[in-house]
Amino acid sequence: MMDETGEEEEEAWLQLRPVEPLPSQCCGSGCSPCVFDLYHRELARWEAARASKDRSLLSGEESQSCPSKLNPETFLAFRISAVDRLTKDTYRIRFALPRNSQLGLRPGQHLILRGKVDDLEIQRAYTPISPANAEGYFEVLIKCYQTGLMSRYVESWSAGDTAFWRGPFGDFFYKPNQYGELLMLASGTGLAPMVPVLQSITDNAEDETFVTLVGCFKTFEGIYLKTFLQEQARFWNVRTFFVLSQENSPEQLPWSYREKTRFGRLAQDLIEELVGSCRRKPFALVCGSAEFTKDMARYLLCAGLGEDSCFLF
């Protein structure tokens, strides 16, 4: 039978037991380590410490010093320096980095944002759109939804606030001249991982990779980063196209967009046309909703691009 001192000690250990994450705390992006991986790791550490009655084992190596660099396992605080509303529901957020440092991501990698709404912790994945070598800042593109918990959190932001990120994550690692041509298929904010990859190519005079970027949006007004995309399309090796699902009149578009804009959905016939018009054998990058990604993978396969010729973000 446990005496009072033993009961108090047992209660103290139970208070130190890691709390299992809620489903809302998983971003669903397949990150490694996932928030559940971290929980099971901490739980094993707690069980070992409890069995040996040595609380020093709970600290682990990570807590011996305050982390100063981005880490996949530890959330770091970043100050918001600017909030720019691009459309009625999409924002470009700039975060400050200390002493003109760089974030340390490769083009196309993403981060995990932690938010808290109504005492419920949530986590979501976002890809920075700033250049990989940007100094002193990084930017993300975030679309907000009426019923989204993270959207409520993001819409409460203003310059000077602090947000918590961990990372980097992502298995696509671009190398200059690795592919003859990149065929980028993006829907909505799926444009985000394409932006730093594209800019890394045009910023490097020795990278002669061709790029064909196709952005799918509902309306012309809803196209993100128009100025950036127009500037990129001036490079000799870059082409941009747009597919608008809720418009059907080229006369309503600026002249510079009429020849490179289609209406409706990005479907099999247009994918085959795009693949056929590529100047070199393409490697496809796809990012968008789960439905969009699934459809594009099927269309690309029918157009002759196998699984080894595409990457799905």
For 57-69, the pLDDT digits (tens) are 555 443 333 334 7
Q: Are 297 and 284 in contact (CB under 8 A)?
A: no
**Residue 274 known to bind ligand:** no
pLDDT band at 229 (very low <50, low <70, confident <90, very high): very high
CATH architecture, range 181-312: 3-Layer(aba) Sandwich (3.40)
Task: Note the residue count of the chain.
Answer: 313
One-letter identity of residue 100: N
User: Is 85 labelled as part of a ligand binding site?
Assistant: no
Q: Write the single-letter amino acid at 128.
A: P
Tell me whether residue 151 is annotated as binding. Answer: yes
φ, ψ of residue 141 to 5 degrees: the values are: -110, 120
Asked if residue 124 belongs to a known ligand binding site, the reply is: yes
Span 295-303, average pLDDT: 96
Question: How far apart, in whole angstroms, are the C-alpha atoms of residue 282 and residue 120?
Answer: 44
**Residue 150 is assigned to a ligand binding site:** yes
User: Domain 76-169: which topology?
Assistant: Elongation Factor Tu (Ef-tu); domain 3 (2.40.30)
User: Average pLDDT in the 16-25 region?
Assistant: 63
**Boundaries of every domain in the chain:** 76-169, 181-312
pLDDT tens, position by position, 251-291? 999 999 999 999 999 999 999 999 999 999 999 999 999 99
Q: 301 a known binding residue?
A: no
**For residue 14, which amino acid is it?**
L
